[in-house]
Structure 1
Amino acid sequence: MEGFKRYVEVGRVVLVNKGEYTGKIAAIVDVVDHRRVLVDSPCPEFPRQVIRLGSVVLTPIVMQVPRGARSGVVAKKWKAQEICNKWNSTAWAKSLQTKKVRSQLNDFDRFAVMRLKKQRRDQVNVAVAKATKA
């Protein structure tokens, strides 16, 4: 049995899930106390700030950054270690993107998705029926 692997540590990439910056990712730069951490992200719309641990979710991505690193250092390390690419390649990020796209569909688009899902379901049912018949 494997133990817990996601610890609050300097360099851990977190996903903000509450507040103004919901859906943004950032890196922990310093631990303030047992409830708050200092996070920073190279994204211009996400300023360096102290944030509650209840407002973030720890991701499996850890970047190598010194404790208390300034914004410029974090931005360089972020780019050098390709954190955005690592995050975008995870199934978690892909599902969040899918949810975002689905939430912005209009009635006709939702109808089209429903029809396509029905067509795919019918094709799967036909294939299963042929496989069990043989």
Structure 2
Amino acid sequence: MPFEKVVEIGRVAYVAHGDDKGKLIVIVDVIDQNRALVDGPCSGVNRKDMNFKALHLTEFKVKIGPSARTSTVRKAWEKGDISKKWSETTWAKKLANAEKRANLTDFDRFKLMKAKQSRNRLINIEFGKLRKAAKKAPAKPKRLRKKK
């Protein structure tokens, strides 16, 4: 199958832009080729229609029927433990790190710069030692070619 993630009922998606940017929702029903009815009971998104362009599909899926009620979606979400699974993904970790970096103060950025400088200094010292040891080592003998 060429596509791993398809738009389907029960597919969990990440809201890329709009009022609920950064939240997870579940596709409850497909309205037409451009919009879906979504619900996010555990992430604070009320049931509404949303354009597919605003959604990024995730690998997670909950088992619900078409046009399932909010309480049913919540139970399926909690049964599937979607919030915990999402927080363990690389995607969620990158978003959290980006959020953390965006909230750094000038002093925090300065401390980060100094920490990077000291780390790079240690790396360069070790690299210099290895290079010096490699120069002192005797040269490897050249391989002799076999005559035909």
Q: What is the TM-score of this pair, normalised by structure 2?
A: 0.82
The RMSD of aligned alpha carbons is 1.7
**Which residue identity is paired with 2:67?**
G
The answer for the alignment partner of 1:79 in structure 2 is 78
Show the 5 A alignment for 1:15-54: 15-43=14-42, 45-54=44-53
Q: Shift of the alpha carbon at 1:119?
A: 2.3
Aligned residue for 1:119, secondary structure, equals helix
Unaligned segments of structure 1, at least 5 residues: none
The answer for the alignment partner of 1:122 in structure 2 is 121
Q: What is the TM-score of this pair, normalised by structure 1?
A: 0.89
Unaligned segments of structure 2, at least 5 residues: 135-148
CA distance in 2, matches of 1:59, 1:108: 36
The answer for the alignment partner of 1:109 in structure 2 is 108
What do residues 8-37 of structure 1 show as CA deviations (whole Å, max 9, x unaligned)? 111111110111111001111111111101
**Inter-CA distance 106–63: structure 2 relative to 1 (3 Å threshold):** same
Task: State the identity %.
Answer: 38
The answer for the alignment partner of 1:93 in structure 2 is 92
Larger radius of gyration: 2
What do residues 107-131 of structure 1 show as CA deviations (whole Å, max 9, x unaligned)? 0011111222222233333344444
* Number of residue pairs matched by the alignment: 133
CA distance in 2, matches of 1:79, 1:35: 28
